[in-house]
Structure 1
Amino acid sequence: MKNIAVLGLGAMGARMAENFLKSGYKLKIWNRTADKGGSLVKLGAQQFSTPSEAVKNVDVVISMLTDDKASQSVWLETKTGALSGLHKDTVVIECSTVTPQWSIELSNNIRAMDAQFIEAPVIGSRPQAENSQLIHLIGGEKNILKKVQDVLSVNSSAIHYIGSVGHAMSMKLAVNGLFGVQVAALSEMLGTLSRVGIDKNSTLSLLSKLPITSPALIGIGLGMSEDNYTPLFPVDLVEKDFSYLLQLAKDQSASIPMANAALDVYQKAQSSGFGDNNISGVVKMYL
């Protein structure tokens, strides 16, 4: 499978697309803002003006879009949507973080076109994408995964099979939720201790040496200590993922009060003007 289309050239999609080119794949690209594809075209990609055109005659379609709304538009628009351009047996890989409900619906639409589908949301951000160190969570049929294992490996250091379509998206939301709760709690603790008279960097230095602190949280702490809030995982997207997680919990009649509280924190961060900061930017509300 050497012919790939990538739909969505944001921070993650563009880096994944470049890795495909460097690995020798023939690449077609589409992005709503066409100028984002310029550097990839110089590397050999073919750029198209509609998703429908981009997915014609390819083996694999990689979708890397912001949210449900963006994905629905890209796939379902009547004249230009990718669904209308799919060929039989093309494998669609949904790498976006979307709701499990939409992933299942998209899978059904794609299978109705005699194409194939797996979901493969990613753990990691820009540095991991650049270095092919993303982690894919897989939902779908194992025989389809086997077909595209080499394609997924171009951008990843690990691939974990979770279960049927919807399960990998659910797991991705849970992973982001767990991470987001940790960052919100850390921010609160830093704010409280600063009022006692213990400065932020002293606290972060100690926490980085303790077994209670996850490697991911140590990385967040490093950014906080340097006042570096470059948006690797922007607050706006964190809020989106928590909203999706709470909807998932509601659909399953599950109670997740800590996630609910964390959503409130990130929504307040948005209201305070920190939506385009990295997730660590929530600490600004407490210091």
Structure 2
Amino acid sequence: MRDITTVAFIGLGVMGHPMAGHLAKVGLSLRVYNRTAAKADSWVAEYGGSAHATPREAAEGADLVLVCVGNDDDVRQVTIAEDGVLGSMHEGAVLVDHTTASADLAESLDAACRKQDVHFIDAPVSGGQQGAENGALTIMCGGDEKIFTHVRPSLEHYAKAVTLMGPAGSGQMTKMVNQICIAGLVQGLAEGLHFAEQAGLDRQQVIDVVSQGAAGSWQMNNRHKTMIEDSYDHGFAVNWMRKDLAICLEQARQINATLPVTALVDQFYADVQQMGGGRWDTSSLLKRLRPRD
């Protein structure tokens, strides 16, 4: 398997843009594609490399192809469609999908890649835009151990942890666990802050105290200030979280897992969408609890 020197990056949104940037900064040759071409041109103006009109063109000659788009349909469009990356990837190249998508899609992409003597790793990420910008993402991978070992050094340029969880689809399954846990944590934090407010407590002082004990969490440490300020124009959007939770709930039905809290919080996020908060950060669950005019 040849060394990774040329990388194609497909999808330059709030996550993909900085992730690709980290790769360019360490001297890798980048070939990029974005559905909105102006974003690809802007990225090239900032980091160098080359922008291409289709995913297929971007993947030509690339040793590693990285995908970071919106959902299952978007992944299919940039991978197995007529102008998708699989139309030009060379034998032995590796396709890594960073999109949070279904495990079924990961397994089907793995099969499609094998037919073309191309390797596949599903590798959803956690850490949000801030983690992508700081090169501190957590990446959960599914695939062959030898291939994982080969691509891991490249992924570590924008991650603090890169872990192989099992065969293809295992990374997506692990990301589902991540989103299930976050949903419950954020709702609990929202209810706690709402209770503190209604009780007339100093909310910042409450957080300063309880964050030092068993109630402490990343969400508490990183989101309580903006929640207290009633500010949600940042971070991971409610619309994206609902997409992820739909994947979790569908997978739960397939494997006979019971997720009552996840299903309930998903409906709470639907309420936030009805309030016009589809683009608000997921911590906006608190806004749903506050009295409205």
TM-score range, shorter chain: over 0.9
Work out whether residues 238 and 280 of structure 2, in 8 Å CA contact, stay in contact via their aligned partners in 1.
yes
What's 1:150 paired with? 153
Does residue 56 in structure 1 map to residue 95 in structure 2?
A: no
C-alpha distance after superposition, 1:222-242 (max 9, x if no partner): 221233323321111111111
The structural deviation recorded for 1:194 is 2.9
What's 2:193 paired with? 190
- Give the RMSD, CA atoms, in angstroms: 1.5
After superposing the two structures, state which structure 1 stretch, 216-225 or 146-155, moved more.
Answer: 216-225
Q: Give 1:133's aligned amino acid.
A: A
Secondary structure of the structure 2 residue equivalent to 1:197 = coil
Does residue 71 in structure 1 map to residue 75 in structure 2?
A: yes
Does residue 128 in structure 1 map to residue 134 in structure 2?
A: no
The structural deviation recorded for 1:172 is 0.6
The structural deviation recorded for 1:147 is 1.2
Q: Give 2:263's aligned amino acid.
A: N
How many Å separate the matches in 1 of 2:133 and 2:264?
33
**Structure 2: runs of 5+ lacking an equivalent:** none
How many Å separate the matches in 2 of 1:146 and 1:119?
14
What's 2:241 paired with? 238
Work out whether residues 8 and 32 of structure 1, in 8 Å CA contact, stay in contact via their aligned partners in 2.
yes
Secondary structure of the structure 2 residue equivalent to 1:110 = helix
Work out whether residues 190 and 286 of structure 1, in 8 Å CA contact, stay in contact via their aligned partners in 2.
no
How many Å separate the matches in 2 of 1:22 and 1:153?
13
What's 2:164 paired with? 161
The structural deviation recorded for 1:51 is 0.7
The structural deviation recorded for 1:207 is 3.0
The structural deviation recorded for 1:47 is 0.4
What's 2:84 paired with? 81
Does residue 25 in structure 1 map to residue 33 in structure 2?
A: no
The structural deviation recorded for 1:209 is 3.4
Please list, as runs of the form range in 1=range in 2, the aligned pairs for 1:196-207 lying within 5 A after superposition.
196-198=199-201, 200-207=203-210
The structural deviation recorded for 1:191 is 2.6
**Structure 1: runs of 5+ lacking an equivalent:** none
Work out whether residues 204 and 225 of structure 1, in 8 Å CA contact, stay in contact via their aligned partners in 2.
no
Aligned length: 286
Work out whether residues 185 and 219 of structure 2, in 8 Å CA contact, stay in contact via their aligned partners in 1.
no
Work out whether residues 239 and 266 of structure 1, in 8 Å CA contact, stay in contact via their aligned partners in 2.
yes
Work out whether residues 177 and 241 of structure 1, in 8 Å CA contact, stay in contact via their aligned partners in 2.
no
The structural deviation recorded for 1:180 is 1.6
How many Å separate the matches in 1 of 2:114 and 2:237?
33
The structural deviation recorded for 1:108 is 1.1
The structural deviation recorded for 1:110 is 1.5
Q: 1:274 aligns with which of 271, 274, 277?
A: 277
Secondary structure of the structure 1 residue equivalent to 2:15 = helix
Secondary structure of the structure 2 residue equivalent to 1:154 = helix
How many Å separate the matches in 1 of 2:110 and 2:231?
39
After superposing the two structures, state which structure 1 stretch, 171-180 or 19-28, moved more.
Answer: 171-180
Does residue 138 in structure 1 map to residue 141 in structure 2?
A: yes
TM-score, normalized by length of structure 2? 0.93
Q: Which runs of 4+ in 1 moved over 6 A?
A: none
TM-score, normalized by length of structure 1? 0.94
C-alpha distance after superposition, 1:111-151 (max 9, x if no partner): 21110011111121122212211111111010001111221
Q: 1:8 aligns with which of 7, 11, 17?
A: 11
